[in-house]
Chains A and B, each alone.
Chain A
Amino acid sequence: MKNCYDLIVIGGGPAGLAAALSAYENGLTDILILERDQVPGGILNQCIHNGFGLHHFKEELTGPEYAGRFIDQLEGTSIELLCDCMVLEITDEKVIHAVSPKTGYLALEAKSIVLAMGCRERTRGAISIPGTRPAGVLTAGAAQRYVNIEGYMVGKKVVILGSGDIGLIMARRMTLEGAKVLACVEVMPYSGGLTRNIVQCLNDFDIPLYLSHTITEIRGKNRVEGVTVSQVDANRQPIPGTEIEFDCDTVLLSVGLIPENELSRQAGVPLDFRTNGPKVDENLQTEIEGIFACGNVLHVHDLVDYVSDESARAGKAAAAYVKGETAVGDYWNITAGDNLGYTVPQRVHRAADGVQIFFRVRRIFANSVIEVTCGDQLLAKFRREHMAPGEMERINIPKALLAKADGDITVTAKEA
């Protein structure tokens, strides 16, 4: 195996695959994808439900089918894929240290790197659910792997904490496999998942959704025997006297995703505390030249279709970087203003050919307006009928409007 590549992509999930293919289409031939699992496709492999690809392929695919479309495209290209390979370290000199049973220890030099490591789930410890610590408390993703990949059920009577998409999907999946899902409990006054998942995964199966509630105690010596659910006040503190007891053997957690940036941090890539992902420009380039980031390692997406689009842009930009065609010069910062949780990118070159900005709002909006401003100057305005924290928003600012900016740019949301 050679030890120097034009581009090394860390992660062979949807982000990494799309980035590698796009870099190839844009003229790079010397590309390596490093994937830690036995097969490419990432988390899509365990997402056997449908609903993927409506935007990207204009048809409804399952997760494995969606990943398969990209994996098939590798055929006939010069892109190398090494699975069962774990990256241990990325140095600031762009040397990648990795291990694999097939190749042994690797120290690979890369002219450019795309970070596409995805994200992990928040755990019980991160939210400190009180009580005992029996078996049967799993993240929804771990349960999904057991059920869909390994072929084993994780319980019979289930309470789900958090209404993130994986939790909602697992509510339906567990029900279809014969389990009784007693409740889906969400601490916020609104769901963290997509509306379509609330409808198709909870409502269609008569699974109650308890908004503004949380689990305040887990019971059971060896295996979960029950949980207490309490209503919470506006500060998310349990309200005494509102306790509901559930006899269950399983608690699934869908309480948020965290971009996995331990490698990025090691390489010295500056991170944004709001996204927990790298700070990037309009080309998805991090603040270290030649290192790009895309997909859930950058910010948590709602739909894989947007991951693919974003990652294609990262791959294209990596190709341009290797060819010495990257945008340079001054840039404006992009700031998340009122009611926005974050923006990606966090900055844009003044001479950029426009910019696509992703963000999430902090609360639910009905008829509303997104404003892009530069000081007192309104650069652009977008109308929305509905916005929710569970759904990622994106806006495009064309070159002509961007050119009007003469300073840092702020994006805000408000009622129309």
Chain B
Amino acid sequence: MYDVAIIGCGVIGAATAYELSRYNLRVVILEKENDVAMGTSRANSAIVHAGYDAQAGTLMARLNVEGNAMAGPLCEELDVPFKRIGSIVAAFDDFDEGVVQKLYERGMANGVPDLRIISAEETKALEPNIADNVRCSLYAPTAGVICPWEYTLAFAEVAVKNGAELKRKCEVTAIEKTEEGFCLSTNQGEICAKYVVNAAGVYSDKIHDMVLPHAFDLIPVSGQYDLLDKSEGSRCNTVVFQCPGLEGKGVLVSPTVHGNLIVGPSAEEVDRDDTATTAEVLTMVRNRAKRAVPSVDLRQCIRNFAGVRANSAVDDFLISRTENFVDLAGIKSPGLTAAPAIAKHAVELLKEAGIDLEEKENWDGKRVRIKFNEMNEEQRRALIEENPAYGRIICRCNTVTEGEILDCLHTPIPPVSVDGVKRRTGTGMGRCQGGFCGPRIVDILAREWGVSPVEIPQDRDEAYILTHETKMGN
């Protein structure tokens, strides 16, 4: 019998597990995929929003601003890439100027620090590549860029290190209320817990309906993006938003925390698993991006992707508690930003429900990972001397060493696929998109795991890379 079962290990489930791992509780996280951060958490704008978008007075507004403030110290402690580069919302006409004013007022009401409206000149000084017809912009220095999957992974790793259990490939199919709590039917058998936290992302409506009467509808909305090479990474200095319209926050152009440039997203209602991209939508995204940053060189695109957000008709997250069941549903943007604050809020809700929160004496919230490409010459010398595997570069584009790949195989949540290694080390994320390092990573994984290369998947278990051995000249 677990104390808490968390359904879903995206950033919300992982952050909740992280918070709960501070206490003497038996926590289990049930993730239907073979890794964490496999849904919305791995395919989004990767922005830590300042907090002026949400309607004043909503839970979303509060958790956004709180989550933003938490990101700095957390990323320090968890060794997660995060840069507080600030954001602007640029206005190009009368209508936009009105929007900027409204956002400013809303931001002030929400308690966003250091928010101000800056002139066209100041905007151009901040963003030399912004379109000439910029009128003014809303400047939010507290906005930032983050690595969303490493944020998720870091939360989950610390939770697991501190005793939480992660069950991967564990899909919840039914939930039954029992005397002591809940009994969850899964493909890995029955799992019982006193409390259940629903963090199932675009499936959180389905999970809700397993326990409670139907209460909300999710509207899965796809966002398509272009990711550009690092050669375009300095095209912008801040996150450049356009004024939000009917399509959500609109198309942004932003450096990523890894030094690339991201352009997107779009917003189309789709089926909840539909992460396909289309030519029409990407063309639209590119045209919109060029409106704000005309000089962006879209030929430097290295990848297109789409992520699905768990939108709803409500202007807030769908967070609520019914007895021992907590819904963390409808976590649309700025869910990534709000995640750590949502987790703290979830713990409060569980406390209301009567959970016993006794802090662990030996809780260890620290996480570190060796990142060769961020080291200086002296550190690199010392590292290779200590272990020559750090002297073998496997991913040329992002300068990732064999040593780092071996490291990630021995973390609390080791990868089970080539893309699992990618999310943990940055391999294959560069301009060659794994063309060079892919075969070498397959080779390393097969060697380390003692299996045939044919057994190594790209991502999900069914995503096989190799089919069979060649004829070997026979």
- Interface presence of B449 (CB below 8 A): no
Residues 188 to 216 of chain A near chain B (Cβ within 8 Å): 216
Provide the residues of chain B in CB contact with A150, threshold 8 Å.
439, 442-443, 453
- Interface presence of B448 (CB below 8 A): no
Q: In the bound complex, do residue A135 and residue B457 qualify as a contact, i.e. CB atoms below 8 Å apart?
A: yes
* Residue of A103, A124, A142 ringed by the most chain B CB atoms within 10 A: A142
Known interface pairs A104-B384, A126-B302; A152-B468 also in contact (CB < 8 Å): yes
- Stretch in A93-101, A357-365, A366-374 touching the partner: A93-101
- Interface presence of A102 (CB below 8 A): yes
- The secondary structure that dominates the A interface is mixed
- Interface presence of B278 (CB below 8 A): yes
Q: In the bound complex, do residue A107 and residue B466 qualify as a contact, i.e. CB atoms below 8 Å apart?
A: no
Q: In the bound complex, do residue B471 and residue A121 qualify as a contact, i.e. CB atoms below 8 Å apart?
A: no
Provide the residues of chain A in CB contact with B471, threshold 8 Å.
177-178
- Stretch in A22-30, A153-161, A336-344 touching the partner: A153-161
Provide the residues of chain B in CB contact with A414, threshold 8 Å.
none
Enumerate chain A interface residues (CB-CB to B < 8 A).
36, 84, 86, 88, 97, 99-105, 107, 120-121, 123-126, 128, 130-136, 138-139, 141-142, 145-147, 149-156, 177-178, 216, 221-223, 238, 249
Q: In the bound complex, do residue A154 and residue B302 qualify as a contact, i.e. CB atoms below 8 Å apart?
A: no
Known interface pairs A88-B399, A177-B471, A222-B462; A142-B435 also in contact (CB < 8 Å): yes
Provide the residues of chain B in CB contact with A216, threshold 8 Å.
279
- Interface presence of B351 (CB below 8 A): no
Q: In the bound complex, do residue A135 and residue B432 qualify as a contact, i.e. CB atoms below 8 Å apart?
A: no
Complex CA–CA separation, A36 to B277 (angstroms): 35
Q: In the bound complex, do residue B432 and residue A104 qualify as a contact, i.e. CB atoms below 8 Å apart?
A: no
Q: In the bound complex, do residue B464 and residue A152 qualify as a contact, i.e. CB atoms below 8 Å apart?
A: no
Q: In the bound complex, do residue B381 and residue A104 qualify as a contact, i.e. CB atoms below 8 Å apart?
A: yes
Q: In the bound complex, do residue B463 and residue A222 qualify as a contact, i.e. CB atoms below 8 Å apart?
A: yes
Q: In the bound complex, do residue B464 and residue A223 qualify as a contact, i.e. CB atoms below 8 Å apart?
A: yes
Q: In the bound complex, do residue A141 and residue B435 qualify as a contact, i.e. CB atoms below 8 Å apart?
A: yes
- Stretch in B44-52, B201-209, B242-250, B387-395 touching the partner: B387-395
Pick 25 A–B contacts, CB within 8 A, sort by A.
A84-B392, A86-B392, A99-B392, A100-B391, A104-B385, A104-B388, A105-B377, A120-B431, A120-B432, A123-B303, A123-B431, A126-B302, A128-B277, A131-B276, A135-B458, A135-B463, A142-B435, A150-B443, A150-B453, A153-B466, A153-B467, A153-B469, A154-B466, A155-B467, A222-B460
* Residue of A123, A125, A155 ringed by the most chain B CB atoms within 10 A: A125
Complex CA–CA separation, A97 to B375 (angstroms): 13
Complex CA–CA separation, A145 to B441 (angstroms): 13
- Determine the residue in chain A with the shortest Cβ distance to B419: A135
Provide the residues of chain B in CB contact with A177, threshold 8 Å.
470-471
Shortest beta-carbon distance from A8 to chain B in Å: 18
Q: In the bound complex, do residue A105 and residue B384 qualify as a contact, i.e. CB atoms below 8 Å apart?
A: yes
The residue from A36, A146, A153, A155 contacting B439, defined by CB atoms under 8 A apart: A146
- Interface presence of B472 (CB below 8 A): yes
The residue from A36, A84, A133, A223 contacting B305, defined by CB atoms under 8 A apart: A133
Q: In the bound complex, do residue A100 and residue B392 qualify as a contact, i.e. CB atoms below 8 Å apart?
A: yes
Residues 446 to 464 of chain B near chain A (Cβ within 8 Å): 453-454, 457-460, 462-464
* Residue of B227, B277, B305 ringed by the most chain A CB atoms within 10 A: B277
Complex CA–CA separation, A238 to B384 (angstroms): 51
Shortest beta-carbon distance from A109 to chain B in Å: 15
- Determine the residue in chain B with the shortest Cβ distance to A253: B435
